[in-house]
Structure 1
Amino acid sequence: MRLLPKVLMSFSALALLPSAAAAQEARPFATIFKNPQCSCCESYGDYLEASGYEVKMVATHDLALIKERQGVPAGLEGCHTMLIGGYFVDGHVPADSVDRLLEERPRISGITLPGMPAGSPGMGGAKTGTWTITGVRADGATSVFARY
């Protein structure tokens, strides 16, 4: 008879723990716009999913227009553009910078990692040099968001 209360207490304690699905729901849905021929964008999406994000990939020939509408500055464009939580994330930005953006909610339009740096999430090769993640305000002003 003493076993039943212990079992019930154990199940009650488990019910209070957040489920993996509930933890994932706390993160906003990510939509990645990519060039139809680009495979590294798919790898980046897989990387984000492994980091706990739900991702939808959208192949488009209007990527330049999407970047322009989001305010991604010329010369700071990345490979693809992600919309998440009211921000843009352009390029192969590490998940911890995406996490920080969504946690801190700074007054910017988004962040970008220009180009397709080797070793960045979704890209092959070894990392060389420093990656600078740039924050972009609605007025076009930029600042360093993170360095890796």
Structure 2
Amino acid sequence: MHHATHATQSSATPRRLRRGIAALLLALNAAGALAQAALPTVEVFKSPYCGCCTDWVKHMQAAGFTVKVHNVDDTQAARAAAGMPDSLASCHTAKVGGYAIEGHVPAQDIRRLLAEKPKAVGLAVPGMPQGAPGMEVPKPQPYDTLLVSREGGREKVSVFARH
């Protein structure tokens, strides 16, 4: 008799636990959908032949951003149109929330930019540093995400984040 009571209790506990987990997952999914809805779409201008740009797009999508890709022949024209100087060039340019994003900028830096809303042109990771999102390697090199702004018609560049 004692054994049967134990079996009833143990089967009820996992059922309650499963219901609790299901409710928690639904709540997390709803919170995730709300957070994703709040993020503006990222428009990326890249060469149709660039694999690391495609990997950066996947990084942004994994971070919850909706990404619209424009394959272009002239990434320099896209960079100029976004207001990003050629001196900070990388292999792709993006626009999000009124900001220009140049190169392999981590999604967390873009989220911070969108949250803090500084008066700026945007963020840049010049070149193609090994270890940046889309450029993953076993031994990443340190790199900086730069905040690009304009003061009196001149570009001002400062370190936004170190990686």
Give the TM-score taking structure 2 as reference length: 0.76
The offset of 1:31, in angstroms, is 0.8
Stretch moving more, 130-139 or 57-66: 130-139
* Residue-pair matches, total: 137
| Identity level (%) | 39
- Output the CA distance in 1 between the equivalents of 2:123 and 2:59: 18
1:88-103 equivalences under 5 Å are 88-103=100-115
Q: Is the 8 A contact 1:42 1:57 kept in 2?
A: no
The 2-side partners of 1:134 and 1:23 are apart by 25
Gaps of 5+ in 1: 1-10
The residue that corresponds to 2:78 in the other structure is 66
| CA-CA distance at 1:21 after TM superposition | 2.2
Q: CA deviation at 1:73?
A: 1.8
Q: CA RMSD in A?
A: 2.2
Of 39, 58, 62, the match for 1:46:
58
Query: 1:8 is matched with which residue?
Result: none
Bigger drift between 86-95 and 20-29 goes to: 20-29
Q: CA deviation at 1:69?
A: 2.0
Q: Hey, what's the Cα distance between the residues in 2 that align with 1:29 and 1:117?
A: 25
Indicate the residue corresponding to 1:143 in structure 2: 158
Q: Which residue identity does 1:131 align to in structure 2?
A: Y
2:119 and 2:128 map into 1 onto residues whose CA distance is 26
In the TM superposition, what whole-angstrom CA distance separates every residue of 1:90-143 from its partner, at most 9, and x where no partner exists? 100111111110000000010100011111101132312x21111111432221
Give 3-state SS (helix, strand or coil) of 1:61's partner. coil
CA–CA distance in 2 between the matches of 1:144 and 1:22?
31
1:25 and 1:133 map into 2 onto residues whose CA distance is 25
Q: Distance in 2 between matches of 1:62 and 1:112?
A: 18
CA distance in 2, matches of 1:147, 1:52: 22
TM-score (norm 1): 0.83
Contact kept, 8 Å, 2:76 with 2:86, in 1: the verdict is no
Please report how far the alpha carbon of residue 74 of structure 1 lies from its aligned counterpart in structure 2 after TM superposition. 2.4
Larger fraction in helix: 2
State which structure, 1 or 2, has the greater radius of gyration over its C-alpha atoms. 2
Partner of 2:44: 32
SS of the residue 2:58 aligns to: helix
* 1:19 CA drift (Å): 4.1
Specify the code of the residue in structure 1 equivalent to 2:133: P
